[in-house]
A and B are shown apart, each in its own frame.
Chain A
Amino acid sequence: QVELVESGGGVVQPGGSLRLSCTASGFTFSSYALHWVRQAPGKGLEWVAVISYDGRNTFYADSVKGRFTISRDNSKNTLSLQMNSLRVEDTATYYCAKGGPGWLDAELDNWGQGTLVTVSS
């Protein structure tokens, strides 16, 4: 079965950096787009970024554009999110999610359990 396990969350000061990872198993990793989605405490879901199956195409939410970078290593079944210039409002649980068949409007058919990022001084 599909499994997605996030890691790398923690507490960081405003302006700092953090790198999240998501290790995947149970499916052909190199065949599917992957997403990061976040959820601030007590708030709704916010889509963050997507990367194509081959890593050549990426899209970002305006709120993170220029600060976050999504990447993948298909040889290691790993998805990453490099987060720079972190702000208090980036505090959230970050989920990685597998895209379904298709590309930009495909469903997110499997989700990890999330990793908490807290930006605080």
Chain B
Amino acid sequence: QSVLTQPPSVSGAPGQRVTISCTGSSSNIGADYDLHWYQQLPGAAPKLLIYGFSNRPSGVPDRFSGSKSGTSASLAITGLQAEDEADYYCQSFDSSLSGSVFGGGTKLTVL
């Protein structure tokens, strides 16, 4: 059971918009620690997708966006494409654990 909670799975048709939530607490997101998102394609290493809640590294399409609300964060993917099918993880620092934490991961299926 991770301290960052994500839905196990989400799905959407090509072209649609999907969102993935990441619910934290007062010891991580609520303590003003940054939250980041990673994409892991099948058989590949994770790749940074969003940093600092809403910033995209160079090369990441603007179809991917992130936001924060209280002790939660969300990743939105618009114009869904088959190549977006992957596992998505949120990550932050937790002061109670004195270490980084990952969410349990969300598997995105493109129908």
Residues of A that sit less than 8 Å from B by CB: 35, 37, 44-47, 50, 59-62, 95, 97, 100, 102, 104-114
CA–CA, A102 and B93, complex, Å: 12
Q: Is A50 within 8 A of B46, CB to CB?
A: no
Q: Is B102 within 8 A of A44, CB to CB?
A: yes
Q: Is A104 within 8 A of B105, CB to CB?
A: no
Which B residue's beta carbon lies closest to that of A113?
Answer: B45
Which B residue's beta carbon lies closest to that of A95?
Answer: B45
Q: Is B36 within 8 A of A111, CB to CB?
A: no
Q: Is A44 within 8 A of B99, CB to CB?
A: no
Shortest beta-carbon distance from A67 to chain B in Å: 15
CA–CA, A100 and B52, complex, Å: 11
B110 interface residue, CB < 8 Å from A?
no
Q: Is A47 within 8 A of B91, CB to CB?
A: yes
Q: Count B interface residues, CB 8 Å.
A: 27
7 contacts between A and B (CB under 8 A): A47-B101, A59-B100, A97-B46, A100-B51, A108-B38, A111-B47, A111-B48
Shortest beta-carbon distance from A35 to chain B in Å: 7
Name A106's contact: one of B34, B45, B87, B104 (CB within 8 Å): B34
CA–CA, A45 and B4, complex, Å: 12
Q: Which residues in window 23-45 of B have CB below 8 A to A?
A: 33-34, 36, 38, 40, 45
Shortest beta-carbon distance from A12 to chain B in Å: 22
Which A residue's beta carbon lies closest to that of B101?
Answer: A47
Name B100's contact: one of A44, A50, A102 (CB within 8 Å): A50
Which A residue's beta carbon lies closest to that of B98?
Answer: A59
Which B residue's beta carbon lies closest to that of A61?
Answer: B99
Which B residue's beta carbon lies closest to that of A44?
Answer: B105
CA–CA, A108 and B48, complex, Å: 7
